[in-house]
């Protein structure tokens, strides 16, 4: 099995672990600030990222590699909602870029299953980006009135 593919899978897993830490930290902070609806959305996305990390680990193990347990970045805490959305959109943008680049590498290494995994995760990360982009757009258009809808 290809070391190059295992390294890509581990890089992706490290990114997913960072996303989990980030989104769950934001979920806790938002819940504490009574922005429960937005906190719930971040929790849902964090759980999806957990599933991504697990799928990547399973593939790494199948390829006889060792899944990383280290996130590639520490969670940012205490951000405003506008700033946390920027952080989250940047995380998703980086994942989308990486997964778009990883899929053809896996194909070139004759590993169609890893390629398909990256493509599946890519679609889900694009969905997360769209979720964050929509929230950001609503916030820009409606301001505090939109924030009020996120409370409770």
Q: Tens of pLDDT along 22-66?
A: 999 999 999 999 999 999 999 999 999 999 999 999 999 999 999
**Average pLDDT of the segment spanning 84-111:** 98
User: What was the pLDDT predicted at 49?
Assistant: 98
User: How many angstroms separate the CA atoms of 50 and 62, rounded?
Assistant: 18
User: How many angstroms separate the CA atoms of 112 and 110, rounded?
Assistant: 6
What predicted TM-score, i.e. pTM, was given to this entire model? 0.94
User: What was the pLDDT predicted at 151?
Assistant: 86
**Which pLDDT tens digit goes with each residue over 4-22?**
999 999 999 999 999 999 9
DSSP 3-55: HHHHHHHHHHHHHHHHHHHHHHHHHHHHHHTT-HHHHHHHHHHHHHHHHHHHH
Domain 3-150: CATH architecture, name and number where available: Up-down Bundle (1.20)
Residues of the chain with pLDDT > 90: what percent? 95
User: What was the pLDDT predicted at 152?
Assistant: 73
Per domain, the residue ranges of the chain are 3-150
DSSP 71-90: -SSPPP-S--HHHHHHHHHH
User: What was the pLDDT predicted at 90?
Assistant: 97
Phi, then psi, of 126 in degrees rounded to 5: -60, -35
**Which pLDDT tens digit goes with each residue over 118-129?**
999 999 999 999
Name the residue among 21, 147, 5, 9 with its Cα closest to residue 81: 147
């Amino acid at each position: 099995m290809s070391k190059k593919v295992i390294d890509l899978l581990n890089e992706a897993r490290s990114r997913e672990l960072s996303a989990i830490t980030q989104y769950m930290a934001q979920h806790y902070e938002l819940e504490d600030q009574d922005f429960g609806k937005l906190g719930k959305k971040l929790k849902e996305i964090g759980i999806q990222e957990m599933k991504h990390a697990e799928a990547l680990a399973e593939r790494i193990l199948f390829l006889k590699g060792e899944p990383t347990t280290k996130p590639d970045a520490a969670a940012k805490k205490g951000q405003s909602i506008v700033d946390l959305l920027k952080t989250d959109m940047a995380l998703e943008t980086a994942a989308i870029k990486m997964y778009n680049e990883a899929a053809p590498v896996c194909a070139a290494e004759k590993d169609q299953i890893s390629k398909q995994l990256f493509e599946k995760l890519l679609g889900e990360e694009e969905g997360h980006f769209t979720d964050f982009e929509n929230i950001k757009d609503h916030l820009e258009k409606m301001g505090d009135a939109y924030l009020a809808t996120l409370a409770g």
